[in-house]
Amino acid sequence: MIELKDLTKAYGNYSAVQRLNLTIGKGEIFGFIGPNGAGKTTTIKMMGGVMAPTEGSVTIAGIDMQAQPQEAKRRIGFIPDRPFLYEKLTGLEFLRFTADIYGVSERRFPDKAAATLAMFSLTDWSNELIESYSHGMKQRLIMAAALLHEPQVLIVDEPMVGLDPLAIIMVKNLFRQLASQGVAIFMSTHTLKVAEDICDRIGILNRGRLIASGTTDDLRREANVSNADLEMVFLNLTGHSA
């Protein structure tokens, strides 16, 4: 469902992402972890089509992002790490805006919007301007908007930042449910516990390179730390000590 081939991003002489190769299948949840500045957000931006790679390609549901960006984007639900939105619209108006852009039908919109708002506990706030929302509420609204058009691929940068514990549990369950329906989820996170809990596979990015990839057990084997948690594995593989 997602294929990254030799994906590279260079800023002058500095390579933020170097020859990244990855394939994420239908219904798979892939966690992307790595230290600050490792290139996670850059990778996510290239996957979402908001940044052009220097080399390599991104394929979403068989569609090349560079050749047919609009078609590829239509299949993606993109959730960035910082919830910048149109502050002068209400939550419901923002959902309508997203629905119009992604071609959600007029007939289906009211029910879909009501259900998504309820799922993210935003029903009571739906007619208030986004400028009065908290960080967490904005993050929830972005998630609601990203799911409205029933994407085949979900690309999420730091999904749990700003969310309360209840919302974190809800999002974890939601991701599992979406994956069971065949949605491929690619998420970057610093919360290793979240990655450990819900991801089928985890990739570790360090200085722009994918240094390890696989299930938690695969990573433990690679790091030579049996029975250690992901935190220990991460520190070992990235060459840091606790």
Partner 1 sequence: MAHRLIHEVRLLLRPRTLPLLRRRRSRSARGGSGRLIVLGVVGMLFWGGLFGISWRVLRYFKGIEDIGDLLAYKLLSMILVVSFALLLFSGILTSLARLFLSRDLLLVHSLPVADHRIFIARWIDATADSSWMVIVFTLPVFLAYGLVFGAGTAYYAGTLLALLLLAVIASALSAVVVMIGVMIVPATRMRSVVFLMGVLLFVVLYLAIRLMRPEQLVDPEVFDSVLVYISSLQAPAAPFLPSTWASDSIQAALAGRMAASFFHLSLSASFAMLVFCLAVITAEAIYFKGFSRAQTAAATAVRRHGCIERIFRFLPGPVRAFTVKEIKTFLRDQTQWTQLFLIAALLVIYIYNFDVLPLEKSPIRTVYLQNVFAFLNMGLALFVLTAVAARFAFPAVSLEKEAFWLVKSSPLSIRNFLLIKFFIYYLPLLVLTETLIVGTNLLLKVTPFMMALSTVTVFFLVPGIVAMGIGLGAAYPDFKAENPAQTASSFGGLVFMITCAVYITVVILLQAGPVYRLFMADLHGKPLPAIVWFWVVAAFGVAFTLSILAVVLPLRFGEKRLSRMPL
Could you list the residues that contact partner 1 (CB under 8 A)? 45, 48-52, 69-71, 73-74, 76, 78, 80, 82, 84-90, 92-93, 96-103, 127-129, 131-132
Of 32 and 94, the one with the shorter C-beta distance to partner 1 is 94
- Burial zone of 46 (CB within 10 Å; 0-12 exposed, 13-18 middle, 19+ buried): buried
Tell me how far, at minimum, the Cβ of 185 lies from partner 1, in Å: 16
Q: How far is the CB of 235 from partner 1 (least distance, A)?
A: 30
C-alpha span between 130 and 223 (Å, rounded): 45
> Between 103 and 165, whose beta carbon lies closer to partner 1?
103
Count of Cβ atoms closer than 10 Å to residue 11 Cβ = 9
Minimum Å gap between C-beta 21 and partner 1 is: 23
Which residues, 6 or more positions from 76, have their beta carbon under 8 angstroms from its beta carbon? Answer: 47, 48, 49, 60, 151, 152, 153, 154, 155
Residues of 199-208 as b/e, b for ≥16 C-beta within 10 angstroms? bbbbbbbbbb
Please identify, using beta-carbon distances, which residue of 131 and 164 lies nearer to partner 1. 131
Residue 233 CB, nearest distance to partner 1 (Å)? 32
Q: Which is nearer to partner 1, 95 or 163 (CB)?
A: 95
